[in-house]
Amino acid sequence: MAERKSFLLRVDRDVLDAVQRWANDDLRSLNGQIEFLLRRALREAGRAPKGTTTSPTTDPDVSPEQA
């Protein structure tokens, strides 16, 4: 797995609450949900880092039931 880097993220409380509810529904941590959304957005925009071709079925944050 790639090295992880911590950073501070300032976000609107309502947005954070909505992402937390979504994470709860998908049985993910808030951090896992944010990373999942960022990876999906990068992939859809054609900006994913080289060598990261994870799909929803191979993404470590997606359970087999969700794929």
Q: How much is the pTM? A: 0.71
Nearest CA to 20 out of 5, 8, 32, 38 is that of 32
Give the pLDDT confidence of 13-65 residue by residue, as tens digits.
Answer: 999 999 999 999 999 999 999 999 999 999 999 999 987 665 554 455 555 45
Q: Where are the domains of the chain?
A: 12-46+54-67
Q: What is the 3-state secondary structure (H, E, C) of 32-60?
A: HHHHHHHHHHHHHCCCCCCCCCCCCCCCC
Interatomic CA distance for residues 30 and 41, integer angstroms: 16
